[in-house]
Structure 1
């Protein structure tokens, strides 16, 4: 705890004071262009990875970077997504998984969370990921299997994201793009899903999703 308190003093002295004008501006409101959805893992720091300043990322964090599909039950993820799109007008949403993910290890080995019923219930939102790994990645073992799970889960959660009404409306209106990323903890590399090549490539090499074309809406007869 003492380390955190010392860190606050260091922040106020070395970061806040030299950037007082930025923080005073942020006090009047925020205008992020990106919603960044990632894992709660303490080794992941979205602003550090992307070298962004306060106010540039709107962030959702939870175990396994999971987005439950749309339902009548409204959770924090759905409410935050709705606010990001409707109120903040974000243009891009990134779901970023990471290697060595404990949540994805539990997806591969569900017995690991037998004594954690709430965790097990939460990871049920990755059941499609588990089934994909069982059906298509039987040849992989150990960390390679977990890495494949991390990647497939990003794609599954992107599909869940598309079921959210505000996301569907943004895509249909041509105002929103979705991105799937994986951060490799051990090397600092970031891989992005290239929709044309259907694989994760180094983020500098991957083709970004094109801005969607607005859907033509017809008048009712």
Structure 2
């Protein structure tokens, strides 16, 4: 266990000696001014996902919310940290955009498709109820003999879209959208290739950034 702590401490030293000096002015500015992020980025807690790296954002530019499966309970259900972060980001920080970002090989989506695999994790099982509709639609749209990978890709996409529907039930979000002050987008990140696909509309579906559907 101690070797993990030492690894983390070594990383801090590299940050202080190699990374921080090159961006010292950026960090000093971030510390001396109130934060004004332009985006709330809702991502999975998966350790392979790095929102700042993916978007090449600087300190203070994106407000990040991470949880298992990048889920957003509908307003009034499971009120807690997620609802508080959304409300804080939209009402106080005045973010202008919200990203809901799913990703390939998501453990939460695997658990959603195979509920028996998470029966020993009651908190996780309960949390995944926020994605039940995504599983139902993904399975309904499936074809006979399709691969598990195809179903996994579809449920990942459907989950992001359904979480955006949940997000719109939050009063702060609904009001900001009505005033024309907030927009929302659905993303899926492919870990192995670095590709990011963003939902365009029902006709185009998820389109790779910089590419075509």
Normalising by structure 2, report the TM-score.
Answer: 0.92
Instruction: Output aligned runs, 1:27-38, within 5 Å.
Output: 27-28=31-32, 29-38=34-43
Task: Give the alignment partner of residue 131 of structure 1, picking from 104, 127, 136.
Answer: 136
Question: Could you say which residue in structure 2 is the equivalent of 1:46?
Answer: 51
Whole-angstrom distance in 2 between the partners of 1:56 and 1:118: 32
2:89: which partner in 1?
84
Match of 1:103 in 2: 108
Whether the aligned pair in 1 keeps the contact of 2:39 and 2:98 (CA below 8 Å) is: yes
Q: Secondary structure at the match of 1:17?
A: helix
The Cα shift of 1:81 comes to 0.7
Residues 5-20 of structure 1 aligned to structure 2 (within 5 Å): 5-20=9-24
Structure 2 stretches lacking a partner, 5+ long: none
Deviates more, 1:136-145 or 1:94-103: 136-145
Cα offset, 1:15, TM superposition: 1.6
Q: Which runs of 5+ in 1 are unaligned?
A: 208-221
* Cα displacement string for residues 34-56 of structure 1 (whole angstroms, at most 9, x for unaligned residues): 00000000110001111111111
For the aligned residue pairs, the C-alpha RMSD in angstroms reads 1.6
Deviating above 6 A after TM superposition, structure 1's stretches of 4 or more consecutive aligned residues are none
Take 2:108 and 2:87, find their aligned partners in 1: how far apart are those partners? 25
Per-residue CA deviations over 1:169-214 (Å, capped at 9, x if unaligned) read 011011100000000111110000002635101123579xxxxxxx
Q: Under a length normalisation based on structure 1, what TM-score does the superposition of the two structures give?
A: 0.89
- As a proportion of its length, which structure holds more helix? 2
1:119-198 correspondence to structure 2 within 5 Å: 119-139=124-144, 140-195=146-201, 197-198=203-204
